[in-house]
Amino acid sequence: MAGAFDRLYAASLRQPEAFWAEAAEDITWFKRWDRVLDSSAAPFHRWFKGAKLNTCYNAVDRHVAAGRGDQVALVYDSPVTGTKRRYRYAELKAAVAELAGALHGLGVRQGDAVVIYMPMVPQAVFAMLACARLGAIHSVVFGGFASPELAARIDDCRPKVVLSASCGLEAQRIVEYKPLLDKALGLAKHTPQKCVILQRPEHRAALDARRDLDWDDWLARAEPHDCVAVAATDPLYILYTSGTTGRPKGVVRDNGGHAVALHWSMQNLYATQPGETYWAASDIGWVVGHSYIVYGPLLNGNTTVLYEGKPVGTPDAGAFWRVVAEHRVKTLFTAPTALRAIKREDPQGSLIGEHDLRGFEALYLAGERTDPATLQWASSRLKVPVIDHWWQTETGWAICGSCRGIEPLPIKPGSASKPMPGMDVRALDAEGRELPRGQIGALALKLPLPPGTFLGLWNAEPQCRAAYYDPFPGSYSTADAGYIDDDGYVFVMSRTDDVINVAGHRLSTGAMEEVLAGHPDVAECAVCGINDELKGEIPLGFLVLNAGCARPAQAIVGECVDRIREHIGPVAAFKNAAVVKRLPKTRSGKVLRGTIRRMANGEPWTMPATIDDPAALDEIGAALTALGLPRL
């Protein structure tokens, strides 16, 4: 007999309009919808057509109106500055209304774009909500992003105003934002009317009197502004993600479907009730920060945590557990790479025991695949459910996961659990035919996508069709590869271009990484396919060892080769691996496997704009040289 979740999931596919109309009752609407689902422009489906609302009102004002203005809405915790501050919902409303009034004073109106290029400070959250309050479209660019990338985003969305700060802070250095912004504006063809700069005490930037405004002086002249009613189908934000053509892809999110889906997810997926503390240890420059630092928790009336720090180094690998204990976090959401960094520095988890985690109930992981070894390490030491779930910038919330608020599902290490309501996941072959259970294929979602997913790409409908809808007509192509087991659990193994062909055998690099990560001395690993004259492709591994590991690297490499042979078989032809100090990653924690692959194959490559530590690629290059690669 189907369980509670399976019955609910089936209802979401059978009667999607009824399902999401019921979920929408938890949102405050200024005008109700004419149609729940509009499919007239398929594959670009729209939810709650004809409805009017304001996302900021739902995230802030309505909680104050309900008498909960004294509840803490936002906790700012910055170990790099030694600052901690709590903002109650009434204080948040006042700050956001004032900032909205200041933007309105600069001519920002409904439908205008505003770029937010800021560090993890409360003013960045205020800015996002202030744009939503006015019906303006915000585009947050990760603070400290390289000037050419910032310029490309400015040219694409053509903001009326740029909001920025003098600097961002890391454990050992100050990152000056203003020179990066000035260079970007010099490169960009579009010129915003004004730039407003938050002067941080750690570094004050020189301002251009013709263009730049001091944040505090600007706010001092502002009058609070009320919420503007917008259409449910109007854009709330543009969030750029890297594209394959060199032009960044501007993912566009709506107001209505976004509010409904995120509110639903907080209580049903994350089992978090109003008044409880939820922490997404991400950055507002990424989709997780949009969905689950800012909008999701506030829509649900939670306390959300804004953390300006790192999982290790601010000051140590116990930083996350200190925040969880101190702010009474019930649910933590972070990336597997953060957990692996903690595991590497504190393999025994001894720092966990230094903090009172009795109120902590669950850890959710997403951003890249969670290897079973990392999941089991965290589960055994934290003594709470550790749940891998899968989603993308384009989907805005989880494609798959365990809905603890409905029915906690058994955890299968290596799986992102079952699809979320409305997410009709299929594994397809190259011709778009559904594959039998257990066979790896391209993972796609049958249309329509549920609320909260993207409207499309900003001013790029042909590119959107080509990337997402043309590969499998009637479905959304995730560009991820994996399989679905007999119980309906989804296993995301790799990106489709990370499935390699070894002598005619299609093998998942993700499956190999899972085996390597199971070695007791391996903290992190990556596998990519490299060209081979005989077999077409063969796998190449990179290993990062646990801190304090004194065993010879070659002995560990040999054991890892044996593990692949034992668990996957000789067909994998896994013979080469190198030990490195760190893996090259994006600032959001994704390993740059494509760049590594191009380096190993001797193909042209460029330094990725999103790279967190360029020196990591130098280490990869040295390791490749030691292995005799590339073979030119």
Identify whether 488 is part of a domain: no
For 298, counting Cβ atoms within 10 Å of its Cβ (0-12 exposed, 13-18 middle, 19+ buried), the class is: buried
CA neighbor of 56 nearest in space, from 129, 114, 148, 113: 129
181 lies in which domain range? 11-479
Same domain, 425 and 551: no
Q: What is the pLDDT of residues 225-264, one digit of tens each?
A: 999 999 999 999 999 986 544 578 999 999 999 999 999 9
Q: pLDDT per residue over 402-414, tens digit each?
A: 999 999 999 999 9
Q: Is residue 491 part of a domain?
A: no
Give domain status of residue 486, yes or no. Answer: no
Same domain, 391 and 523: no
The letter for the amino acid at 221 is R
At residue 537, the pLDDT reads: 86
> Is 159 found in the same domain as 21?
yes
In 3D, which of 363, 360, 370 has the Cα closest to residue 412? 370
Instruction: Answer yes or no: is 6 within a domain.
Output: no
Rounded to whole angstroms, the Cα distance separating 473 from 470 reads 5
The pLDDT score that the predictor gives to residue 612 is 82
Whether residue 449 is found in the same domain as residue 541 = no
Q: Are residues 526 and 455 in the same domain?
A: no
For position 506, what pLDDT does the model report? 66
Both 436 and 510 in one domain: the answer is no
Shared domain check, 187 and 235:
yes
Mark whether 404 and 536 lie in a shared domain: no
Dihedral sign, CA of 153, 159, 163, 164? positive
316, 408: one domain: yes
Tell me: pLDDT of 107 over 70.
Answer: yes
Co-location of 278 and 362 in the same domain: yes
Position 160, amino acid: K
Q: Give 592's DSSP letter.
A: -
Residue 460 lies in a domain: yes
Considering its fold, how many domains does the chain have in total?
Answer: 2
Are 473 and 510 in the same domain?
no
- Which pLDDT tens digit goes with each residue over 182-226? 999 999 999 999 999 999 999 999 999 999 999 999 999 999 999
Q: Is the peptide bond before 448 cis (omega within 30 degrees of 0)?
A: yes
Q: Which amino acid is at 10?
A: A
Residue 487 lies in a domain: no
| Span 2-27, pLDDT tens digits | 799 999 999 999 999 999 999 999 99
Query: Which of these, 295, 53, 266, 80, lies nearest to 171 by C-alpha position?
Result: 80
Q: Could you tell me if 98 and 32 lie in one domain? A: yes
Tens-place pLDDT, residues 565-624: 888 878 888 999 999 999 998 877 788 988 999 899 999 998 887 788 889 999 999 999
Write the CATH number for 196. Answer: 3.40.50.12780
Non-local (6+) Cβ contacts of 487 within 8 A are 412
Q: In residues, how long is the chain? A: 632
Pair of tokens at residue 186: 């010099």
Pairwise CA distance, residues 232 & 229, whole Å: 9
